[in-house]
Amino acid sequence: MSAKREQDRKNTSSKDRETSNPIQIQKFLGGLDYPVGKQDLIDRARKAGADEKVMAALERIPDQEYESPIALSRELGSR
C-alpha cells in the first residue's frame, strides 16, 4: 500500500472514532417519551438538526426499544 493510501486510511479511521458523547446526543432528543425505538431517536435527532457525528452514533446503536435516556446513554457510551 502506498504511503498516501496508508495515511488516508489512518485519517479515515480516526475520523470514524470521533463521536459525540451521550450528553451531546441527548440535547437533540429532548421531549421524547420513553420507551422509544431506534428509528424514533434517529427521526427526532434529524428534525432537531443533529450533526453527522450524532447521526452516525445513533445509526450504530442496536435496533431496540430504549426504556429511558439513561439506558440510551449507557448504550451510546459503550460504542
Each residue's pLDDT, cut to its tens digit, for the chain (79 residues) gives 455 445 444 443 344 445 688 999 999 999 899 999 999 999 999 999 999 999 999 999 999 999 999 999 999 988 6
**Total of domains in the chain:** 1
Supply the range of the domain harboring residue 61: 19-77
In this prediction, residue 11 carries a pLDDT of: 44
Q: Which pTM was predicted? A: 0.74
3 in a structural domain: no
The residue written with cell numbers 445513533 in the block is: 58
Among positive and negative, which fits the CA dihedral 31, 61, 52, 42? negative
Q: Which of 72, 59, 1, 65 is nearest to 30 (CA)?
A: 72
In this prediction, residue 66 carries a pLDDT of: 98
70 in a structural domain: yes
24 in a structural domain: yes
35 in a structural domain: yes
5 in a structural domain: no
In this prediction, residue 17 carries a pLDDT of: 43
In this prediction, residue 78 carries a pLDDT of: 81
42 in a structural domain: yes
